Each structure stands twice: as C-alpha cells, then as structure tokens.
C-alpha cells in the first residue's frame, strides 16, 4: 500500500513509497503537486531482468506516443538509488510505471513486484 511519510530532514522532507507490479501504474501519487525529487530508490531484487521506472506528467499516457519525463534503469536483482543532489523538479507527478521495456511501447510486466521510494520536497 502506498504511503507518504514526513521526515525531519531539511532536504526533501517527505518520502513516498509504493509497490508496483504487473506493469500497472500508480496514478497521481502526490495529488497533483509539483515536487522536487532528491532521491529515488528502485528495489528490483526480486526480478532477474532489468526494470525501468518511468515517470510521466500525464494521467494515463499513451505509451506508444508519450515520452516519460524520466526513465531510470535498475539492473537485474539489485536495489538502486538515483540521487539528484540539487533536486530535479518533476512537476505534475501523475503517473509511474515499472516495466522491462526500455522503449515507449506498451509496458511489459516485471516477473515480480518492484518497490519504489521517492524522497521529495515542495517545489519552489
């Protein structure tokens, strides 16, 4: 189950966590809020294939035509941390999907669920 947890850290301030499976998406996890991302953790330890975490700025984007604003590659059987020390604004954070597919086609399901965590703060 997805959760938002406030932190006492001056950088970021909140953590969003979710488990994503079967190439399904998490829609609108941060309630239409523009945020600055400082770190994204992708736990792909349960999968023997590379997994891509894709972030879109559109609700239910057409995967064949819409480009993600961010695509992160997590190697097989690993937990990877993607750091943005100065922060990166990801705007209207409305759609996240994990897939084994690198291109923009229809997402291909991972064999097991992928856990994600996003350390973020409010955009200026």
Low-confidence ranges of the chain (pLDDT < 50): 8-9
Give the total number of structural domains in the chain.
1
- The CATH number linked to 103 is 2.60.120
Burial 50-59 (b: 16+ CB within 10 A, else e): bbbbbbbbee
Q: pLDDT for 77-89, tens place per residue?
A: 999 999 998 888 8
Supply the pTM of this predicted model: 0.81
Two tokens, residue 38: 């400082």
Q: What is the C-alpha separation between 97 and 110, in angstroms, rounded? A: 10
Structure confidence at residue 89 (pLDDT): 82
Structural domain that includes position 43: 3-122
**Cα angle 85, 68, 116; round to 5:** 55
């Amino acid at each position: 189950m997805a959760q938002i947890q406030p932190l006492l850290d001056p950088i970021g301030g909140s953590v969003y966590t979710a488990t994503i499976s079967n190439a399904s998406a998490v829609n609108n996890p941060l309630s239409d809020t523009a945020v600055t991302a400082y770190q994204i953790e992708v736990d792909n330890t349960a999968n023997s294939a590379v997994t891509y975490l894709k972030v879109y700025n559109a609700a239910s984007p057409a995967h064949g035509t819409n480009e993600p604003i961010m695509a992160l590659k997590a190697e097989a059987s690993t937990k990877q941390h993607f750091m943005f020390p100065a922060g990166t604004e990801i705007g209207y954070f409305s759609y996240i999907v994990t897939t084994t597919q690198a291109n923009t086609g229809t997402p291909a399901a991972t064999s097991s669920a992928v856990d994600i965590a996003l350390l973020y703060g409010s955009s200026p």
